[in-house]
Amino acid sequence: MYLVISEKPSVAQAIAKVLGAYKKEDGYLSGRDCVVSWCLGHLAEYAMPEAYDDKYQKWRFEDLPIIPDTWKLEVAKDKKPQFSTLKKLLKQGDIDYVVNACDAGREGELIFKRVYDLSGSRLPVKRLWISSMEDEAILEGFANLKSGEEYKNLADASVCRAQADWLIGMNASRAYTKTYDYRLTVGRVQTPTLAMLVQRGDEIAHFQKKQYFLAHVMKDGLDAVSEHLDSRDAAEQITATCNRRDAEVTAVKREAKSVAPPKLYDLTTLQREANRLFGYTAKQTLEYAQSLYEKKLLTYPRTDSQYLTGDMADTAKAMITMVQKLLPFVPEASFQMDVSRLLNSKKVSDHHAIIPTAEIAKLEADSLSAAECNILYLVANRLLCAAAPKHRYISVKAELICSGYLFTASGRTVTDQGWKLYEEALKKYLRADDDKDNVEDAQTLPDLEKGQVLKGVMSKLTEHFTQPPKPYTEDSLLAAMERAGSSEMEDDVERKGLGTPATRASIIEKLISSKYAVRKKKQILATEAGSKMIALMPEYLKSAQMTADWENRLLAMERGQTTEEAFMADIYSLIERMLSDCMMLPTEERQRFSGEKESRGIGRCPVCGSPVYEGKSNYYCSDRGCSFALWKENRYLSSMKKTLDKKMASELLGKGRTHAKDFYSGKTGKNFEADLILEVSEDGKTSFKMEFPEGNSRKQKK
């Protein structure tokens, strides 16, 4: 008897069906010789600092650094029943071994390891490593299970990544919050990513646009332009001189060019394309691709490879034939497909590129959401594009002289659509809005020959301005994260940049949820709070280069090329350096937010004296270790159809009481006026009572 643990219930059900485990139990499925159960994503997470020592409930700089001797894991309250089921199964006497069937990657390894370690199990571990949820792939995976020990390096890297994020997040956030007496959130990857957003915002804000002018001469569909002219007068003189004059073609250069087919999708390129065409966020695209994977229609999405392994030529050919027959947007094509360029085992690490599976032959379009269809069609079409011939065209550049002035024109004539035949067909079918810039002027020029004279050309002047850098979109930000730090890395380093394909979406979402960044249509912009935070950070905490280097060291750990001890030693050194730098900051720097905090505060905490600020649903004490809060909606006031507004809260903090005339009485059905009085215990618990005008001694107390 063996136990299989997957990452999600839907995956467990697919595996159980293949293994014949049909009997539904409480939290698992059972069969003749196996039991299949599941996690609910991350069942267990590292405990918060206060779980190690009560003193960490208060944020104090002198208590830093917080570095656990033994790391504690905690299970979320709503996930405890499923963890109890897994723990019971892992301790069950008739189970001979457990199969880790969590997603085949670093995060899947971490999810399983935490549950396994927390359960105290000593069962032998085997690893299921598959890139598709098709029945055949699952069966083949179980026929080739490997020892969990073979993935020890991957597990070590997953643990180091999680511990590094915890250590920097907890220590840096507390250190800078207490140093500046201003709430700040620091992250190992999110802070350098935010720094890129802030830098781009600064470049746009400080951009000095420059005006320039172009003179044009036009004839029979030809539009040739002058060089950039700084002076309108000069441009007007040229246009006036050339109007209705003859122009001679002095040079024509024709050059055959081609555009190579794109590579297959890895997760990042799929997220970028989906954002550009449909406006999907990286998180949404990952969710849609994961859903298609679990429905057996796509291979594993969390991949960083754009190639297939060398033994997948037949699979690729079969999928190309199937896609050409099944999908409605695919046009007829006369060229031959070449799968050889899709194959490169050396560039496939954990998983090959994302492609459709044979299950698309059974696809019923109405079984998918519109977004899932879009993602599936993108992936299927990319397979065709990647195997199709090059897009070929003739580039033409011409020079003309008119009244002594030089004009140039460029254009191109397509000679073979190649892979763009599929790209254009899909965009037309999906009515997708591609905002990608054209890299070359696509106008078609009339036939021109050197020495040809164009009689009586027309002229005109146009006004232009230099353009600032564009704000980041999810597409361009993902690209920037992927490229970050790559300029100083070796050419053969496979993973470059901030985060991994699997984590970049969550980093962007964290920046937005923490209000350091905001989405504005497709754009992602740093907020004022984000800009202020980055202004405080030392270069090493916002350095894309250093953080990208850490990601590559984690990859080296997976390959057994470095140790977890060496990686974590550098993390500890970084924290010590950060604390030392904080202590050396001058007093005036530490007080840079003091005026702003006072202006934002609505009063002082009656328990600890710290400023109290307004939140979305309450008025909270700025000292994270203090539990005092006034809730805008509370049980006492809701019975009187009253919420606590900012003015009332400020008066309660300042005078201990506030007066209102619109309390509602359920008994009389009328409004009444009274003083609301606040009472606070030493531990921060609040209660209210009322005093009525004109000597009425009746009181209501919570």
Task: Give all domains of the chain, ordered by start, each with its CATH number.
Answer: 2-144 (3.40.50.140), 162-204+475-588 (1.10.460.10), 211-260+392-465 (2.70.20.10), 267-389 (1.10.290.10), 601-691 (no CATH)
Half-sphere exposure of 373 (CA within 13 A, CB side): 15
CA separation for the pair 587, 583 (Å, rounded): 10
Burial of 367 (0-12, 13-18, 19+ CB in 10 A): exposed
Backbone angles phi, psi at 125, to 5 degrees: -115, 135
pLDDT of amino acid 597: 57
pLDDT of amino acid 442: 63
What secondary structure does DSSP assign to 260-287, as a single string? Answer: PPPPPB-HHHHHHHHHHHH---HHHHHH
Q: How far is CA 543 from CA 173, 233, 496, 497, 578, in A?
A: 17, 47, 14, 11, 14
CA separation for the pair 702, 686 (Å, rounded): 9
Please, which residues have CB within 8 angstroms of residue 614's CB and are 6 or more apart in sequence?
600, 602, 646, 649
pLDDT of amino acid 543: 87
At 533, which helix (H) or strand (E)? helix 528-536
Strands lying side by side in the sheet with 453-454: 453-454, 247-259, 391-402, 405-416, 222-225, 211-219, 458-465
Determine the residue type at 116: Y
Place of tokens 């993935």: 151
CA separation for the pair 544, 483 (Å, rounded): 9
- Could you give the residue numbers annotated as active site? 300
Contacts 24+ apart (CB under 8 A), 646-650: 646/602, 646/614, 646/619, 648/676, 649/602, 649/603, 649/612, 649/614, 649/619, 650/602, 650/603
pLDDT of amino acid 697: 43
Nearest to 316 by CA among 296, 341, 346: 341
pLDDT of amino acid 105: 84
Which parts of the chain sit beneath pLDDT 70?
432-442, 485-496, 595-600, 624, 694-702
Nearest to 302 by CA among 513, 479, 135, 506: 506
For Cα atoms 520, 190, 162, give the angle at the middle one, nearest 5 degrees.
140
Tabulate helix, strand, coil % of the chain (nearest 5).
45, 20, 35
CA separation for the pair 14, 356 (Å, rounded): 18
Q: What is the DSSP letter of 221?
A: T
Give the three-state DSSP class for 252. Answer: strand
pLDDT of amino acid 2: 94
**Residues found in the chain:** 702
CA separation for the pair 240, 219 (Å, rounded): 16
Tokens standing for residue 75: 């299970």
